[in-house]
Amino acid sequence: MQSGYRYRIASVLGTILLTLFSVLLVNQPTVQTTVTTLVPVIRRLPAIVLADGELQLALVTTVAVVLGSLVPLFKPRPRRILDTILFAQKRILVAGATLAGIGYFDYTYRLPRSTLALSILGLLVVLPVWFVAIRRRPTGRERAVIIGDDPEEIADVLDAIDIPVIGYVSPPSPYYSEREDTVVSTPTVADGSGNTLLQNLDCLGGLSRLDEVLVEYDIDTAILAFAQPDRAEFFGALDTCYEHGVDARVHRDHTNDVLTRYSSSDEKIVDIDLEPWDWQDYVFKRLFDVLFAGVGLLLLAPVVLAVAVAIKLDSAGPVFYSQKRTAEFGETFEIYKFRSMVTDAEAETGATISEEDAGGFDPRVTKVGRFLRQTHLDEIPQLWSILVGDMSVVGPRPERPELDADIRIGVVEWRKRWFVKPGLTGLAQINGATGHRPAEKLRYDVEYIQRQSFWFDVKIVLRQVWSVLTDLRRVGDD
């Protein structure tokens, strides 16, 4: 059995056994009596000993909650000792809070507070020690694999890398061999002598086998070499590398579309500085999006009705209008807003006013539309896009595909914004950076991607809400 699987089995079994041992130990009458008598904080709690069915239900519930909280640690990813300890303790505290919440809502397992407190305290010590003991260590012989479909970039990687490359993984490629009528299924690169640079490098399979390759060959490093690193294949390979604890890197000459950190000016192969969130973080962010959009639509329902009536009375045409915007990986989705311009305004003039130019004058903007833009009320329908998952509350503001294409001509790193789901607001918006200053906007968007967290999102939302309230007060004063 390969090391990745051994680590997963050891981490899960160790968590189960140590959790069972912790609860059973503190459930002993002697421990309960001693602790609730001598320990200053816990001695206020009654000494309760569970038995039979109550004990079994408590054990099952506690193990299930602890396992769920520690899922990120079951990935065979190399971590420093201190990082392992702190991350494990963080997840154990989450488990403790979850168990306390279950007890608060009077779930029938009724884990006594003294047992809960002592069990969590014990797990805060023993589980980090266990994960440190089994953590993945360097094998002493670093092994690399190349993942990609760009022959020129693969050639650059082979020329620059100084660790053994055991092979490459590639999707079917549109590149042609020497026979122009024959499409090859894997990339081939010819040097000046006509020899194939990859002829001595094994093709380990397509992207569908990437999981198996990383585990079977015990890979430490993967170098990504895609012709278009803004598409699903790149992001899927990147996520798989992190899932298996494999360092993902890229040639420094091909970093325009990815986030990297140069550790030294001489390195030609650099780390990709983007770590997908743990599944709990994704869940929290998605729950926040759903709650924000759902509550917003519910509370603003009277406003929506009033705005719809005002638009119909002000000018002929529909209440809403839709427009394609760029999403993750360069895909597109429909965004909805209240109509603030005369019908078919863009078709008549061949021009489009940016949503961020609310303060400017445009004859196509209706009287009601001007008020909607100044108060940001025209953005309310985008809560629906958040609710269905096309957007997030916080993220880079999505642009029109044609505007994205124009900006990329002058700002080659613009596609870095596609690493995350677009948002209703973002770090660029609260700092006043618009699409008219794409380089500045990109700088804020990249900073958000690198710093993103649930609490960072909350701070951005609070600042945006304050900004909207300030604009509403200003409009009221006028």
Could you tell me if residue 139 is inside a domain? no
Whether 366 contacts 398, CB under 8 Å: no
Average pLDDT over residues 278-288: 75
Both 362 and 229 in a single domain? no
Same domain, 251 and 313: no
16 within domain boundaries: yes
The pLDDT assigned to 194 comes to 42
The pLDDT assigned to 239 comes to 74
- Asked which of 107, 134, 161 is the last residue of a domain, the reply is 134
Same domain, 470 and 324: yes
- How many residues in total does the chain contain? 478
Q: Which amino acid is at 350?
A: G
Residue 215 pLDDT greater than 80, yes or no: no
**Cross-strand partners of 223:** 146, 249
Task: Report helix angle 3-26 to 29-38, nearest 10.
Answer: 70
Count how many domains the chain has: 3
Least confident of 117-121, 353-357, 439-443: 353-357
Closest CA to 200 of 237, 230, 158: 158
Residue 181, pLDDT score: 40
Burial class (CB in 10 A: 0-12, 13-18, 19+), 334: exposed
> 338, 318 in Cβ contact below 8 A?
no
Tell whether 456 and 320 lie within a shared domain: yes
Mean pLDDT for all residues in the chain: 76
Region 83-87 average pLDDT: 81
Q: Is the pLDDT of residue 435 over 90?
A: no
Do 442 and 427 reside in the same domain of the chain? yes
Q: Residue 435's Cα: distance from chain center in Å?
A: 24
Whole-angstrom Cα distance, residue 337 to residue 79?
Answer: 45
Pairing of strands 269-272, 260-261: antiparallel
Place 198 in a pLDDT band, splitting at 50, 70 and 90: low
Confidence bin at 177 (pLDDT 50/70/90): very low
- Residue whose C-alpha is closest to residue 129's, from 209, 8, 239, 14: 14
Q: What is the pLDDT of residue 187?
A: 46
Shared-domain flag, residues 126 and 215: no
Q: For residue 337, tell me if it sits in a domain.
A: yes
Give a yes or no: residue 170 inside a domain: yes
Residue 249 in 3-state DSSP? strand
pLDDT band at 180 (very low <50, low <70, confident <90, very high): very low
- Provide the domain limits for residue 209: 144-275
Q: Are residues 299 and 221 in the same domain?
A: no
Q: Give the model's pLDDT for residue 475.
A: 72
Give yes or no: residues 25 and 101 share one domain. yes
Tokens 């000993």 sit on residue: 49
Bigger pLDDT: 78 vs 245: 245
Of 33-37, 49-53, 274-278, 426-430, the one with minimum mean pLDDT is 274-278
Domain end marker among 252, 275, 298 = 275
On whether residue 425 sits in a domain, the answer given is yes
pLDDT in tens, 305-341: 999 999 988 888 888 888 888 877 667 888 888 888 8
Question: Residue 322 domain-assigned?
Answer: yes
Angle between helices 367-375 and 301-314 (to 10 degrees): 150
Beta strands in 346-394 (DSSP E): 392-394
CA 345 to chain centroid, in Å, comes to 38
Asked if 113 and 103 count as a contact pair (C-beta separation under 8 A), the reply is: yes
Mean pLDDT of 262-282: 61
Q: What is the pLDDT of residues 147-161, one digit of tens each?
A: 988 777 787 788 888
The C-alpha atoms of residue 430 and residue 76 are separated, in whole angstroms, by 38
pLDDT at 278: 58
Confidence label for 279 from pLDDT (cuts 50, 70 and 90): low
Residue 246 scores a pLDDT above 90: no
Best CA proximity match to 65, nearest among 26, 118, 140, 123: 123
How does residue 230 score in pLDDT terms, banded at 50, 70 and 90? low
Helix (H, G, I), strand (E, B) or coil at 117: helix
**Within a domain: 284:** yes
pLDDT at 189 exceeding the cut of 50: no
Q: Which of 73, 102, 134 is the last residue of a domain?
A: 134
Instruction: Report residue 131: phi and psi, to 5°.
Output: -70, -30
Q: For 188-210, what is the mean pLDDT? A: 63
Residue 382 tokens, joined = 């985008």
Question: Which of 81-95, 238-252, 299-313 bottoms out in mean pLDDT, i.e. has the lowest?
Answer: 238-252
Please indicate, yes or no, whether residues 323 and 191 belong to a single structural domain of this protein: no
Least Cα distance to 404 among 312, 469, 328 occurs for 328
Confidence bin at 256 (pLDDT 50/70/90): low
Token pair recorded at residue 441: 């906007």
Residue 18 forms part of a structural domain: yes
174 and 222 in one domain? yes
- Match 């694999």 to its residue by tokens: 145
Check whether residue 218 and residue 87 sit in a common domain.
no
Where is pLDDT greater, at 59 or 264?
Answer: 59
Position of tokens 């700092």? 431
Residues 382 and 458 in one domain: yes
- Report whether 219 contacts 246 (CB < 8 A): yes
- Average pLDDT (287-313) is 91
Residue 241 near residue 214, CB atoms below 8 Å: yes
